[in-house]
Structure 1
Amino acid sequence: MSSEAIEWFDVPSVLGRRAAALLGLSRVPIVELDESHRPLILAHLLALGQEDRRLRFSYALGDGAIAKYVTKIDFSQDSLFGIFGKDNVLLGVVHISIFPRKEGSTAPKAAELGLSLNADMRGHGLGTLLFKRALQRVRNEGVERLFIFTLVDNDAMLAIARKLDMRVHNADGQTEAHLDIRPGNTGTAIREFVDEQLAEVDHLFKASLNQFKRWAEDIVS
């Protein structure tokens, strides 16, 4: 990935990388996704190669199965976050799926994480940043246990899991990793709120910049 592409993810258009680091905020704007982003999520997943689809879903899903998966995303229950590249293209997405609980259940509130990242975006820590953003959300939502279910040969996912001190267990070609979540507090809620606002402003700024560049190019041509 070029240095120009890396710079696109930094925060300087809003705050500055050093200030973000001092405040404990993400150095990469990570935007919460909603119903309006469904077509962009679909485009992102359809752009994955067969091997990446296998690693993301444990099977190399076809286009129809991926479209069905995206259609069934319940934004009122689950949370999704994404990293945008130029031209409003989603380059990475993390999906937090909350496990349903029966009324009166004493089981810990739990959630599962799924991550997808464009192949040429790897090696720059973007997957780890998406996971950390997801951890912010589940902690503030009262999730007590977080799970990752993946294949034993998904080295990139397992590296992130171990980096975040998740407990990893392998069985029958599948891997389960889980992490017990500390309760959120006022400080974690404020930090997530600030991260959200900065990401939204940064995304809007860059969208406007893209529009201006296209307008300028039209004028010149």
Structure 2
Amino acid sequence: MTTVKPPPPPALDRFGLKSPKGSLPHPAEHAWVPIRDLHARHRRRILDHLLQLDERDRYLRFGSQVSHEQMAKYVASIDFKRDEVFGVFNRKLHLVAMAHLAAMPGKGPHGDSSRGRAMEFGVSVLPSARGKGLGMLLFKHAIMHARNQHASHLMIHALSENAPMLRIATKAGATVERDGPDAEAWLKLPPDTVGTHLDSSLQSLAAELIYRVKYRAMHVSDWVRLLVASA
């Protein structure tokens, strides 16, 4: 196993991370995007999103070839009382990006329970929504939520060939450990603050409000089109 350690991280921002000096962040990384909390009632939409991933994307997301049946079992197994799931919707209210923040109670790096509680991060972005920095925005969102859950570390398990995912992790200051085709990235998190809890609540409320406004606007547009067509 080889371990790749990043350079000393710079001062942390309100998410608990900051881009290293000299890097050129994606413009969207500092923009606000409504990220909506997902719940058990959204299982169908989560499954629809994942089924739109091709074989290569599924392989990178889950580390192996995943069939439709296995995908359905994965979605059915999500424990929304323990884990957190959130996503980004486009203008047509299609789920184009989603993240799963899964609890790993009592497990820090190398399975050392003395290192505190860890949470595992997984993300998927549809091809039509890539290149907009959504992966990093969901990662930052997950960091804030993991801190609020009193996690000491955020972990990403990925294939070594999954360069985009590992790039997000190392950019945040994570330590990447490689073991053949597999890699694990461990990011130590600062403790939660009043600010992280306030940010989380406000962002959730704003995202839900924006979604509902768009939902109603779409239905009004459909109703108007029906009236015009029947006139």
Q: TM-score, normalised to structure 1's length?
A: 0.84
Contact 1:139 1:183 in 2 (8 A): yes
Q: Gapped runs of 5+ residues in structure 1?
A: 1-24
SS of the residue 1:67 aligns to? helix
Partner of 1:78: 83
Counterpart of 1:59 in 2: which secondary structure?
Answer: coil
Whole-angstrom distance in 2 between the partners of 1:118 and 1:35: 21
Query: Match of 1:131?
Result: 139
Q: What percent of counterpart residues are identical?
A: 36
The answer to whether the Cα contact below 8 Å between 2:115 and 2:152 also exists between their aligned partners in 1 is: no
Partner of 2:119: 111
Runs of 4+ displaced beyond 3 Å = none
User: Normalized against structure 2, the TM-score is what?
Assistant: 0.81
CA RMSD for the aligned pairs? 1.7
* C-alpha distance after superposition, 1:85-116 (max 9, x if no partner): 233311111000101349xx644111100001
Q: Which runs of 5+ in 2 are unaligned?
A: 1-29, 108-112
- The answer as to whether partners of 1:169 and 1:177 remain within 8 angstroms in 2 is yes
1:194 aligns with 2:199: no
Aligned to 1:148: 156
What secondary structure, in the 3-state scheme, does the structure 2 residue paired with 1:211 have? helix
Amino acid at match of 1:92: A
The residue number in structure 2 matching 1:87 is: 92
Q: 1-side partners of 2:63 and 2:91: how far apart?
A: 29
Query: Which residue of structure 1 aligns with residue 189 of structure 2?
Result: 181
Tell me, in whole angstroms, the C-alpha distance in 2 between the residues paired with 1:54 and 1:68.
16
Aligned partner of 2:74 among 61, 69, 74: 69
1:59 correspondence with 2:64: yes
* 1:207 equivalent among 202, 211, 215: 215
Instruction: Provide the residue aligned with 2:41 in structure 1.
Output: 36
Letter in 1 for 2:41: S
Cα pair 1:26 1:195 within 8 Å, conserved: no
Contact 2:106 2:116 (8 Å CA) reproduced: no
